[in-house]
């Protein structure tokens, strides 16, 4: 390829835009020119503070130094998500990252735990997760493992605007060109592909390929190409959020809290300089004023800004890649941040794109395969999120009654049924949420298996009790030497 023979134009400078730009700057070979256009007047959505462990792969791939990242984005560590009140008021469970228990022979731990639970000798599932024990005791360390326990995985909470700014410095330092301006017009080729975008002030940016990171509106993928959107509100009915930061106060938890409220849920995300809070709710069941009151009445410290309202439609763009446009971020769809999956989807789409990086117009086969795999990613996450709502026992609350009785996708129906019937969980190898993630949320939401694999019955009750006890002890011993989250973070953020 000769110099700059393939021009990629990214529209949007939020998390999606700068993650895409940074990844292309790092991995696209010579000959690719990457331009990013963003509008200061429009701004970014600016939320998106909780992540899941694969973000570390992304940062590592870009060559980002963790200490610098932690300092620049005011980040904290995250070991899992606590769900309070999702089954019923007063009940709590955690979806912790990493393993739960330990395989015995060939059989996964869940069969032994299910038998022990039925016999009344097993402790709650979280007692067999080193991540959960560390999270609940406010401890954190990297590189820690114990007997039969692999290294504890972690993710981060960070300030989304600071992360975008951090990646911008990174990308601009590696030859991405940024332009400020509002795109007002789109020029098309005869075959429907986009040829160029024009800003309000008359500048034209021609490209061979466009990455639409323009947020909910989807300026290229929807307004120009009219790709279409599958609306999933029949399964994920929340359609609004109100967000507000407050001063750092209360426990500096190495986990996200998700607290069920009357018509949705509230998050609490501790950062170094503040706590991020938001209420996700369903406008059919809660007015905007009541949502603001609910959020503000549950804060631990004075707010740092006015509450900010946001509206969304849960669902996904019918094609992630249409013509010569790839939708990344909110332009490709939105599922509420219950399991912190949006930034992950940005990462997975851009990583997949790099595996098929075009150097010329791409044929239908590549595009269709790409879109099929993106659809599977979205649908796997969708089903996992719906489970949290569907399997609730908050009887007598209209929103929760609606969720408990709503029809759900057949794929999820089948998953719940096979777990209930025989403790079976079999996610596909490409699925984001592992067997252990499903186990924690299924049982946390009160779905218990009626039977388990009979191989688990081969242990005598004493041996079963001994096995469960040994696993719990190994988790506790693994966590015991770990420092407190605050101290560990301070050490990691220290300048050399
Ligand atoms: P935006 O941030 O909206 O950026 C759009 C960009 O496009 C901006 O730069 C804008 O200026 C530009 N633009 C738009 N139109 C034009 C135009 N015509 N011309 C020029 N520029 C234009 N994700 C997580 O992973 N974890 C979370 O905890 C989490 N919490 C969330 C909570 C809520 C309530 C919401 C709504 C989302 C949350 N997300 C979360 C999702 C996360 O915020 C987004 O995935 C992420 O910020 C990416 O946004 P974006 O870059 O696609 O869009």
| Nearest atom, ligand 1, residue 256 CA | 28
Phi then psi for 250, rounded to 5 degrees?
75, -175
Tell me if residue 54 falls in helix, strand or coil: coil
CA 291 vs CA 5, 266, 279: distances in Å: 51, 10, 7
Q: How far apart are CA 390 and CA 418, in angstroms?
A: 16
CB proximity list for 372: less than 8 A, separation 6 or greater: none
Rounded mean pLDDT of 74-101?
97
Q: How far apart are CA 457 and CA 23, in angstroms?
A: 50
Rounded mean pLDDT of 78-97?
98
Asked if 24 and 8 count as a contact pair (C-beta separation under 8 A), the reply is: yes
Rounded mean pLDDT of 335-352?
96
Q: pLDDT grade, residue 296 (50/70/90)? A: very high
Evaluate if residue 449 carries a pLDDT over 70.
yes
Rounded mean pLDDT of 216-225?
98
Rounded mean pLDDT of 61-71?
95
Instruction: Count Cβ neighbours within 10 Å for each residue of 166-178 and write b for 16 or more, e otherwise.
Output: bbbebbbebebeb
Compute the distance from residue 144 Cα to the ligand 1 centre, in Å. Answer: 34
Encode pLDDT of 230-280 as tens digits.
999 999 999 999 999 999 988 999 999 999 999 999 999 999 999 999 999
Evaluate if residue 2 carries a pLDDT over 60.
no
Ligand 1 pocket mutation, candidates 9, 10, 11, 12, criterion most atoms within 8 A of CB? 12
Rounded mean pLDDT of 411-427?
96
Q: pLDDT grade, residue 494 (50/70/90)? A: confident
> What rounded mean pLDDT belongs to the chain?
96
Name the packing angle between helices 109-119 and 461-479 (round to 10°).
110
Percent of the chain whose predicted confidence (pLDDT) is above 70: 99
Say what the pLDDT of residue 360 is: 85
Q: How far apart are CA 279 and CA 243, in angstroms?
A: 6
Q: Please tell me if the CB atom of residue 152 comes closer than 6 angstroms to any atom of ligand 1.
A: no
Q: How many helices (H) and strands (E) does the chain have?
A: 14, 21
Asked if 195 and 159 count as a contact pair (C-beta separation under 8 A), the reply is: no
Q: How far apart are CA 151 and CA 53, in angstroms?
A: 12
Q: Please tell me if the CB atom of residue 349 comes closer than 6 angstroms to any atom of ligand 1.
A: no
Rounded mean pLDDT of 25-51?
94
Q: Encoding tokens for residue 375? A: 């659809």
- How does strand 92-96 pair with strand 274-281? unpaired
| Nearest atom, ligand 1, residue 267 CA | 28
Say what the pLDDT of residue 148 is: 82
Q: pLDDT grade, residue 47 (50/70/90)? A: confident
Rounded mean pLDDT of 442-465?
97
Say what the pLDDT of residue 149 is: 84
Say what the pLDDT of residue 1 is: 45
Rounded mean pLDDT of 175-199?
97
Q: Which long-range contacts (CB under 8 A, 24 or more apart) does 424-427 make?
A: 425/110, 427/380
Atom 18 of ligand 1 has which residue's CA nearest to it? 183
CB proximity list for 153: less than 8 A, separation 6 or greater: 53, 97, 98, 131
Tell me if residue 15 falls in helix, strand or coil: helix
Compute the distance from residue 43 Cα to the ligand 1 centre, in Å. Answer: 9
């Amino acid at each position: 390829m000769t110099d700059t023979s393939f021009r990629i134009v990214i529209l949007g400078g939020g998390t999606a835009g700068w993650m895409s730009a940074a990844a292309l700057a790092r991995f696209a070979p010579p000959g690719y020119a990457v331009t990013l256009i963003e509008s200061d007047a429009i701004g970014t959505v600016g939320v998106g503070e909780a992540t899941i462990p694969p973000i570390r792969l992304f940062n590592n791939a870009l060559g980002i130094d963790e200490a610098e990242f932690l300092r620049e984005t005011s980040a904290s560590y995250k070991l899992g998500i606590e769900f309070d009140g999702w089954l019923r008021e007063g009940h709590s469970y955690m979806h912790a990252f990493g393993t739960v228990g330990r395989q015995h022979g060939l059989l996964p731990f869940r069969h032994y735990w299910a038998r022990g639970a039925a016999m009344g000798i097993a402790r709650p599932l979280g007692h067999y997760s080193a991540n959960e024990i560390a999270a609940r005791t406010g401890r954190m360390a990297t590189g820690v493992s114990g007997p039969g326990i692999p290294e504890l995985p972690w993710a981060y909470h960070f300030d989304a605007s600071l992360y975008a700014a951090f990646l911008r410095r990174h990308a601009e330092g590696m030859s991405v060109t940024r332009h400020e301006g509002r795109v007002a017009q789109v020029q098309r080729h005869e075959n429907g592909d986009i040829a160029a975008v024009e800003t309000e002030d008359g500048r034209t940016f021609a490209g061979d390929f466009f990455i639409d990171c323009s947020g909910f509106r989807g300026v290229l993928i929807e307004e120009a190409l009219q790709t279409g959107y599958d609306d999933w509100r029949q399964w994920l009915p929340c359609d609004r959020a109100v967000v507000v930061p407050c001063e750092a106060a209360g426990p500096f938890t190495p986990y996200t809290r998700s607290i069920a409220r009357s018509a949705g849920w509230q998050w609490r995300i501790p950062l170094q300089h503040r706590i991020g809070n938001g209420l996700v709710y369903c406008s059919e069941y809660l007015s905007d004023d009541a949502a603001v009151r609910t959020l503000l009445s549950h804060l631990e410290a004075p707010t740092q800004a006015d509450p900010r309202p946001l509206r969304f439609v849960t669902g996904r763009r019918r094609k992630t890649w249409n013509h010569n446009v790839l939708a990344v971020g909110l332009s490709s769809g939105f599922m509420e941040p219950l399991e912190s999956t949006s930034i992950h989807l940005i990462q997975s789409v851009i990583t997949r794109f790099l595996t098929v990086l075009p150097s010329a117009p791409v044929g239908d086969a590549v595009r269709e395969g790409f879109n099929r795999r993106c659809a599977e990613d979205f649908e796997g996450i969708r089903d996992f999120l719906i489970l949290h709502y569907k399997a609730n026992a908050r009887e007598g609350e209209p929103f929760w009654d609606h969720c408990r009785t709503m029809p759900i996708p057949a794929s999820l129906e089948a998953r719940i049924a096979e777990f209930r019937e025989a403790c079976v969980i079999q996610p596909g190898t490409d699925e984001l949420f592992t067997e252990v993630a499903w186990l924690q949320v299924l049982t946390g939401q009160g779905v218990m298996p009626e039977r388990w694999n009979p191989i688990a019955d081969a242990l005598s009750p004493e041996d079963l009790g001994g096995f469960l006890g040994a696993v719990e002890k190994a988790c506790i011993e693994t966590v015991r030497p770990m420092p407190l989250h605050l101290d560990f973070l301070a050490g990691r953020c220290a300048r050399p």
